Protein backbone atom coordinates (compact mmCIF):
# COMPACT_ATOMS: atom_id res chain seq x y z
CA UNK A 1 0.00 0.00 0.00
CA UNK A 2 1.33 3.42 -0.97
CA UNK A 3 0.26 6.29 1.29
CA UNK A 4 0.98 10.01 0.93
CA UNK A 5 1.11 12.31 3.94
CA UNK A 6 1.23 16.11 3.84
CA UNK A 7 3.59 17.23 6.60
CA UNK A 8 2.99 20.02 9.09
CA UNK A 9 5.69 22.23 10.59
CA UNK A 10 8.69 20.82 8.72
CA UNK A 11 10.82 21.71 5.71
CA UNK A 12 9.75 18.48 4.00
CA UNK A 13 6.38 19.03 2.32
CA UNK A 14 5.21 15.47 1.82
CA UNK A 15 6.12 11.91 2.80
CA UNK A 16 5.24 8.89 0.68
CA UNK A 17 5.40 5.50 2.39
CA UNK A 18 5.04 2.07 0.83
CA UNK A 19 3.87 -0.55 3.32
CA UNK A 20 3.59 -4.31 3.06
CA UNK A 21 1.51 -5.09 6.12
CA UNK A 22 3.56 -3.65 9.00
CA UNK A 23 6.81 -3.65 7.00
CA UNK A 24 8.05 -0.43 5.42
CA UNK A 25 9.17 -1.14 1.87
CA UNK A 26 10.10 2.45 0.95
CA UNK A 27 9.92 6.03 2.19
CA UNK A 28 10.27 9.16 0.09
CA UNK A 29 10.45 12.72 1.44
CA UNK A 30 9.73 15.74 -0.75
CA UNK A 31 11.71 18.78 0.34
CA UNK A 32 13.72 19.04 3.52
CA UNK A 33 17.35 18.16 4.21
CA UNK A 34 18.10 15.80 1.33
CA UNK A 35 21.02 13.88 2.84
CA UNK A 36 19.51 13.40 6.29
CA UNK A 37 16.13 12.37 4.91
CA UNK A 38 17.69 9.96 2.41
CA UNK A 39 19.47 8.33 5.36
CA UNK A 40 16.27 8.11 7.40
CA UNK A 41 14.47 6.60 4.41
CA UNK A 42 17.17 3.94 3.95
CA UNK A 43 17.13 3.07 7.65
CA UNK A 44 13.34 2.69 7.58
CA UNK A 45 13.32 0.23 4.66
CA UNK A 46 12.55 -3.26 5.90
CA UNK A 47 11.67 -2.11 9.42
CA UNK A 48 8.39 -2.53 11.23
CA UNK A 49 6.23 0.59 10.96
CA UNK A 50 5.34 0.25 14.63
CA UNK A 51 9.02 0.18 15.62
CA UNK A 52 9.70 3.33 13.58
CA UNK A 53 6.72 5.04 15.22
CA UNK A 54 8.00 4.05 18.66
CA UNK A 55 11.50 5.40 17.95
CA UNK A 56 10.66 8.59 16.02
CA UNK A 57 7.46 9.90 17.64
CA UNK A 58 8.04 13.06 19.61
CA UNK A 59 11.40 13.94 18.04
CA UNK A 60 11.65 17.71 17.65
CA UNK A 61 13.71 19.99 15.42
CA UNK A 62 14.59 23.22 17.18
CA UNK A 63 11.58 25.33 18.14
CA UNK A 64 9.15 23.61 15.75
CA UNK A 65 7.66 21.07 18.15
CA UNK A 66 7.99 18.40 15.45
CA UNK A 67 10.57 17.10 12.96
CA UNK A 68 10.72 15.06 9.80
CA UNK A 69 11.18 11.82 11.80
CA UNK A 70 8.20 12.79 13.99
CA UNK A 71 6.15 13.53 10.89
CA UNK A 72 7.16 10.11 9.49
CA UNK A 73 5.73 8.53 12.63
CA UNK A 74 2.44 10.38 12.01
CA UNK A 75 2.45 9.30 8.37
CA UNK A 76 2.95 5.68 9.36
CA UNK A 77 0.19 5.83 11.99
CA UNK A 78 -2.23 7.15 9.37
CA UNK A 79 -1.06 4.63 6.76
CA UNK A 80 -1.55 1.71 9.17
CA UNK A 81 -5.04 2.98 10.04
CA UNK A 82 -5.95 3.39 6.37
CA UNK A 83 -4.56 -0.05 5.60
CA UNK A 84 -6.67 -1.67 8.34
CA UNK A 85 -9.79 0.09 7.00
CA UNK A 86 -9.15 -1.47 3.57
CA UNK A 87 -9.13 -5.02 4.94
* Bridge partner residues of 3 (DSSP): 17
Q: What percent of the chain has pLDDT over 70?
A: 99
Domains in the chain, ordered, with CATH? 2-86 (3.30.390)
Residue 32: alpha-carbon gap to chain centroid:
13
Q: How many Å is the Cα radius of gyration of the chain? A: 12
Distance (Å) of CA 57 to CA 19, 43, 66, 87: 18, 15, 9, 26
Per-chain mean pLDDT for the chain:
96
pTM: predicted TM-score of the whole model, two decimal places: 0.95
pLDDT at 25: 98
Segment 30-40, tens digit of pLDDT: 999 999 999 99
pLDDT at 86: 83
pLDDT of 45 over the 90 cut:
yes
Amino acid sequence: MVYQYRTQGTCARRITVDLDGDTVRAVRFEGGCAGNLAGIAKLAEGMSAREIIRKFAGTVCGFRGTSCPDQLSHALEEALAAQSEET
